[in-house]
């Protein structure tokens, strides 16, 4: 006897469950098949247990600040995690599925025809089939690894207690989250990552801040290191790692392999259905349909993002396409994720590097430190930074946030991005005070001013005032141009002073204004060479100060041992340009930076001023040496 359904779904993880509930919501008969209980990796060994551990570890970490000798029974921690798992599972159990109109079969499903499945000897026929077979931990061919009792995220939370020492292989989201959490509950953790930094897919500056936080908390991190051999020695595991041609032995009680996931494509008889696949994924089109008509694939087994929320989105799209006559494309433009370290690291859309590769230097970068948020300053040792990448008109291309509540704030950015709302519109949105999300209003105000300054009318007005256009030409704009004067004046009043000074042995990061120049910039269009000392530091500083004092419109505001800060005012518009010099003794040269406070106003003045100042400095230096 063959059971018939409208939709058969293989795999009851995040994607499969979502597809099943969507299908039954359209009054279709649905069967959900899985060799394990419903919930998948997310419920049993991924999102739920890991975030439960992270929450517990965070509480313990803060408690230890006031009770340093606090002892943790990790067996109790693991029991609490299992209780959380069961609480979540109670909402997706076979009984709950049945009440929702979904049949659940606990068994192995295999194609024996295009739309015909066999599950433990029973045959099922479905008009449409959705594959949601998920992924498994990827285990590399490291010499001896198959002979040691290594762990993966699938076995870690089944332990009765955590080992006292743990080596974690892999610096992706899973490895980094667990390294911090385990370290906080008393496990001595060593993290090994083959790339030169952890979390290689995220913004480097923010990742390095997390990396330093982990090191300060006691996690030992080996980056640029490759595991070459593993050996079990009683209750200990020796892992030999290699870095820069030299080898080192790392010994611990536990070894956690967290090197990513591989698609579950074997054992389902995909060939019998005409479904093409590779060892990395099942092949699908833009509508998530496989090479077999009427057979769809979703979730980790498809990618390209192995994230539960992306699996949910694919589940809804595939189920609707299997039911409705009009197919919807799966859109990956608005991708977002969060790494749940403390502080969290949220990401939406493109990184700065990706945006520059696609849009060039027309993009606009806005940054804001958590140190400038009152809510963040109510918490001791709070660190964080918001970085938003916009197109030239002020619409969001991407964002990265490091800090408390980053996952919640990035969700607000994701909403603004997905609905195609200009970032400048946030300037007038009232947020509660003090909150972390207030940072979006602060950035929104900066964007609003820059949007005004980028208006053609205002740009023309600025050019005329600066003498770059005949003054009479602006009259052609009549009353419209007159309105531009008010806009420009408002922009001047809203001058925003960039971060100035020295940090970690260099000038603080350069403002994102288009015409800024810096000897520390990686952008070739903004880069200018540093100046050589041409003698001792004291001589070089004396020559710089002499040069500044003789420069019309420049006022020296700050002179320190290794640092000089001055402000230059433009003659006609009186825009303020910040100029900084850092005397780098190690390199024996002077780092230079100049940037306008209102980003679209200087029309290349910073670079012209740099050239004049540089020539004057060399003239003074030469004269000083020869006198």
Q: Tell me: pLDDT of 386 over 90.
A: yes
Average pLDDT value for residue range 179-205: 95
Average pLDDT value for residue range 447-473: 62
Higher pLDDT, 103 or 432: 103
CATH classification at residue 304: 3.50.50.60
Please work out, in degrees rounded to the nearest 5, the angle formed at the alpha carbon of residue 330 by the alpha carbons of 293 and 286.
45
pLDDT (tens digit, 9 = 90+) per residue, 562-594?
999 998 886 655 667 889 999 999 889 999 998
Q: Tell me: pLDDT of 606 over 90.
A: no
Average pLDDT value for residue range 117-141: 95
Average pLDDT, the chain: 88
**Residue 477 confidence class, pLDDT cut points 50, 70, 90:** very low
Structurally, how many domains does the chain consist of? 4
Answer yes or no: do 349 and 401 share one domain.
Answer: yes
Q: Tell me: pLDDT of 523 over 90.
A: no
Q: Tell me: pLDDT of 489 over 60.
A: no
Does 488 fall in a domain? Answer: yes
Answer yes or no: do 292 and 340 share one domain.
Answer: no
Question: Which range, of 103-112, 120-129, 571-580, averages the lowest pLDDT?
Answer: 571-580
- pLDDT of 488 reads 45
pLDDT (tens digit, 9 = 90+) per residue, 509-522?
766 566 788 998 88
Answer yes or no: do 131 and 274 share one domain.
Answer: yes
- pLDDT of 472 reads 46
- pLDDT of 506 reads 84
Answer yes or no: do 546 and 562 share one domain.
Answer: yes
Domain of residue 489 covers 457-494
**Residues 6 or more apart whose Cβ sits within 8 Å of residue 56:** 77, 80, 81, 181, 185
- pLDDT of 321 reads 96
pLDDT (tens digit, 9 = 90+) per residue, 8-31?
999 999 999 999 999 999 999 999
**Residue 450 confidence class, pLDDT cut points 50, 70, 90:** confident
Average pLDDT value for residue range 360-384: 89
Does 70 fall in a domain? Answer: no
**Percent of the chain at pLDDT exceeding 70:** 89
Q: Tell me: pLDDT of 268 over 80.
A: yes
Does 607 fall in a domain? Answer: yes
- The residue whose two tokens read 């359904």 is 5
Answer yes or no: do 506 and 474 share one domain.
Answer: no
Does 283 fall in a domain? Answer: yes
Answer yes or no: do 477 and 511 share one domain.
Answer: no
**Residue 464 confidence class, pLDDT cut points 50, 70, 90:** low
Q: How far is CA 492 from the centre of its chain?
A: 34
**Residue 496 confidence class, pLDDT cut points 50, 70, 90:** very low
Answer yes or no: do 536 and 614 share one domain.
Answer: yes
Higher pLDDT, 134 or 575: 134
pLDDT (tens digit, 9 = 90+) per residue, 138-156?
999 999 999 999 999 999 9
**Residue 480 confidence class, pLDDT cut points 50, 70, 90:** very low
Answer yes or no: do 450 and 350 share one domain.
Answer: yes
- pLDDT of 85 reads 96
Q: Which of 553, 516, 561, 544 is nearest to 613 (CA)?
A: 544
Average pLDDT value for residue range 407-433: 91
What string of H, E and C letters represents the secondary structure of 106-155?
ECCEEEEECCEEEECCEEEEEEEEEECCCEEECCCCCECHHHCCCECHHH
Domain end, chosen from 445, 465, 494, is at: 494
Q: Tell me: pLDDT of 192 over 50.
A: yes
Answer yes or no: do 377 and 423 share one domain.
Answer: yes
- pLDDT of 479 reads 42
CATH classification at residue 531: 3.30.310
**Residue 357 confidence class, pLDDT cut points 50, 70, 90:** very high
pLDDT (tens digit, 9 = 90+) per residue, 193-229?
999 999 999 999 999 999 999 999 999 999 999 999 9
Answer yes or no: do 463 and 540 share one domain.
Answer: no
Higher pLDDT, 160 or 377: 160
Does 235 fall in a domain? Answer: no
Does 224 fall in a domain? Answer: no
- pLDDT of 476 reads 44
Does 461 fall in a domain? Answer: yes
**Residues 6 or more apart whose Cβ sits within 8 Å of residue 272:** 110, 111, 112, 113, 114
**Residues 6 or more apart whose Cβ sits within 8 Å of residue 515:** 595, 596, 599, 600, 602, 603, 604, 605, 606, 607
Answer yes or no: do 103 and 20 share one domain.
Answer: yes
Average pLDDT value for residue range 49-58: 96
Does 405 fall in a domain? Answer: yes
Answer yes or no: do 7 and 123 share one domain.
Answer: yes
Domain end, chosen from 465, 494, 523, is at: 494
CATH classification at residue 429: 3.30.390.30
Q: Which of 56, 52, 55, 42 is nearest to 81 (CA)?
A: 52
pLDDT (tens digit, 9 = 90+) per residue, 291-344?
999 999 999 999 999 999 999 999 999 999 999 998 999 989 899 999 999 999
Measured distance CA(322)–CA(335) in Å, rounded: 23
Return the number of other C-beta atoms located less than 10 Å from residue 441's C-beta.
16
Count CA atoms within 13 Å of residue 5 on its CB side.
Answer: 29
- pLDDT of 490 reads 42
């Amino acid at each position: 006897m063959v059971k018939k359904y409208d939709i058969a779904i293989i795999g009851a993880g995040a994607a499969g469950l979502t597809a099943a509930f969507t299908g039954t919501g359209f009054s279709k008969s649905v069967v959900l098949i899985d060799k394990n209980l419903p919930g998948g990796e997310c419920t049993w060994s991924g999102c739920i247990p890991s975030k439960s551990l992270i929450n517990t570890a965070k509480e313990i970490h803060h408690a230890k600040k006031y009770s340093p000798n606090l002892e943790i029974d990790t067996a109790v921690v693991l029991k609490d995690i299992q209780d959380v798992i069961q609480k979540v599972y109670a909402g997706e159990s076979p009984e709950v599925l049945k009440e929702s109109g979904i049949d659940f079969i606990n068994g192995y499903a295999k194609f024996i025809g295009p739309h015909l499945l066999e599950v433990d000897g029973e045959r099922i026929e479905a008009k449409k089939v959705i594959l949601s077979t998920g992924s498994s931990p990827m285990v590399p061919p490291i010499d001896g690894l198959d002979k040691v009792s290594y762990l993966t995220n699938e076995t870690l939370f089944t332990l009765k207690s955590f080992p006292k020492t743990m080596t974690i292989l892999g610096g992706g989201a899973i490895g980094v989250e667990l390294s911090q959490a385990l370290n906080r509950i008393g496990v001595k953790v060593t993290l090994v990552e083959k790339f030169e930094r952890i979390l290689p897919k995220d913004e480097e500056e923010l990742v390095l801040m997390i990396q330093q936080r982990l090191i300060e908390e006691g996690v030992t991190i080996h980056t640029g290191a490759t595991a070459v051999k593993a050996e079990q020695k009683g209750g200990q595991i020796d892992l030999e790692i290699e870095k820069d041609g030299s080898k080192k032995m790392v010994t611990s009680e536990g070894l956690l392999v967290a090197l990513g996931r591989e698609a579950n494509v074997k054992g389902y008889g995909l060939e019998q259905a005409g479904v093409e696949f590779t060892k990395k994924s099942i092949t699908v089109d833009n509508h998530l349909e496989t090479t077999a008509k009427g057979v769809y694939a979703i979730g980790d087994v498809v990618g390209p993002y192995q994230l539960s929320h992306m699996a949910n989105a694919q589940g809804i799209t595939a189920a609707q396409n299997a039911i409705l006559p009009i197919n919807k494309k799966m859109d990956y433009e608005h991708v977002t994720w969060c790494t749940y370290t403390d502080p969290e690291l949220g990401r939406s859309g493109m990184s700065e590097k990706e945006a520059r590769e696609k849009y060039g230097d027309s993009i606009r970068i806005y940054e804001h430190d958590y140190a400038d948020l009152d809510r963040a300053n109510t918490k001791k040792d709070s660190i964080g930074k918001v970085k938003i990448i916009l197109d030239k008109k002020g619409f969001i291309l991407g964002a990265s946030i490091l800090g408390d509540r980053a996952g919640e704030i990035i969700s607000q950015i994701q909403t603004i991005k997905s609905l195609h709302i200009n970032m400048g519109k946030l300037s007038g949105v009232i947020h509660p005070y003090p909150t972390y999300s207030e940072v979006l209003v602060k950035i929104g105000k900066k964007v609003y001013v820059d949007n005004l300054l980028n208006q053609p009318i205002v740009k023309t007005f600025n050019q005329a005032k600066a003498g770059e256009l005949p003054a009479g030409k602006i009259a052609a704009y009549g009353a419209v141009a007159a309105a531009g004067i008010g806009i420009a004046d408002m922009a001047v009043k809203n001058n925003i002073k960039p971060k100035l000074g020295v940090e970690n042995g260099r000038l603080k990061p350069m403002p994102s204004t288009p015409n800024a120049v810096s000897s520390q910039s990686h952008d070739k269009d903004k880069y200018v060479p540093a100046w050589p000392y041409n003698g001792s530091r004291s001589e070089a500083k004396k020559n710089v100060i002499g040069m500044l004092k003789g420069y019309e419109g420049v006022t020296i505001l700050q002179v320190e041992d290794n640092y000089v800060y001055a402000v230059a005012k433009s003659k006609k518009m009186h825009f303020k340009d910040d100029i900084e010099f850092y005397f780098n003794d190690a390199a024996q040269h002077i780092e230079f930076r100049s940037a306008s406070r209102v980003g679209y106003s200087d029309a290349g003045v910073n670079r012209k001023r740099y050239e004049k100042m540089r020539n004057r400095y060399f003239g003074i230096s030469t004269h000083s040496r020869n006198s």
